Structure 1
């Protein structure tokens, strides 16, 4: 169902076959991203410390699925303590970003990067 906000009361109208097909690729893309995220974690976990952003304890590499790709970066509960101006200490200066990129490329994954994260795709 699609919610129609064009009028004051909320109207629900059923999806026709064309409308339902239009929404399926988003779910498929999300599943591909989740699958790729698990693969990225399996590649990186034996080699780097992974961050647990839920506990706010320790720092390390974080992995987050995004539709058809996965984002990989550095996280710390106190980023200012681990960074120098303009650089993410262990991530860039310490070589963790390069290590992650090399490991993932070695598995045949495509990597694009900026100063703060890697974007991993097939």
Structure 2
């Protein structure tokens, strides 16, 4: 029975690690997508900015403003994403500390109980 409990704990730990890794990968994918979109919008903006002011149409100026707003919004979204990912890492680190402390407190008890049963079998 203790072997089964140990194996279940190990499987649960592996599952937690995989869930965390999946979450990290999602953050990374979202970050990559945001960076690609920001780069694309910056290229569009650069084309408009390169037009001399005297040759710019009203639509060009409006498009510039719109692109700046979109870029700003995406940068803010990315900042939020980065902050959220960091918060998750800190939370997971704390969970790891709590788990380690919990296991540490259980190990000496388990060894003491095992020692007592060994002692009884000798008597």
**TM-score in terms of structure 1 length:** 0.32
Please identify which structure carries the higher strand content: 1
**When you count helix as a share of all residues, which structure comes out higher?**
2
Larger Rg: 2
Taking structure 2 as the reference length, what is the TM-score of the superposition?
Answer: 0.31
